Amino acid sequence: MKRKIMVVDDEPDDLKVLEKRLSEAGYSVVAVSESKEVLSKAKKEMPDLILLDILMPGIDGAEIGRRLKDDPETKDIPVVFLTCLFTKKDEAAMGHVVGGNIFIAKPYDHEGLLKEIEKELK
């Protein structure tokens, strides 16, 4: 059975690239472009993992992540944040983890992202 990944990004091009690459890697992908839809879609779809952009209009990714973790239905879904707020150097120094959350710096390395997804899904 295919593992399901929810991808959340307000940039249509970024969303399409992630959706294509994850589908090619064998994942079922649920694409979400509006932050206000994430909680309801996560409850409906129950993905195995959520890739979440931090810089989103309306509710930012950090707040969405908090809401996901505060909700008993979605609290156990791993969330990996994608962000341009950190550099690759920051990411390497912190080992992808800040405050108990996994962060991947944009622009991300596709193979590195897939490895991080696999690690989180185990």
Q: At what angle are helices 12-24 and 110-121 packed, to 10 degrees?
A: 60
User: pTM of this prediction?
Assistant: 0.85
The tens digit of pLDDT for each residue in 47-102 reads 999 999 888 888 888 889 889 999 999 999 999 888 755 544 554 544 444 445 67
For residue 38, report the phi and psi dihedrals to the nearest 5 degrees: -60, -50
pLDDT of 32 higher than 90: yes
Instruction: Count Cβ atoms below 10 Å from residue 106 Cβ, excluding itself.
Output: 17
3-state secondary structure of 7: strand
Instruction: Count Cβ atoms below 10 Å from residue 1 Cβ, excluding itself.
Output: 5
Return the pLDDT at 98: 46
What domains appear along the chain, each with residue ranges and CATH number? Answer: 4-121 (3.40.50.2300)
**Cβ(10)–Cβ(34) under 8 Å?**
yes
The tens digit of pLDDT for each residue in 100-111 reads 567 676 667 788
Identity of the amino acid at 87: T
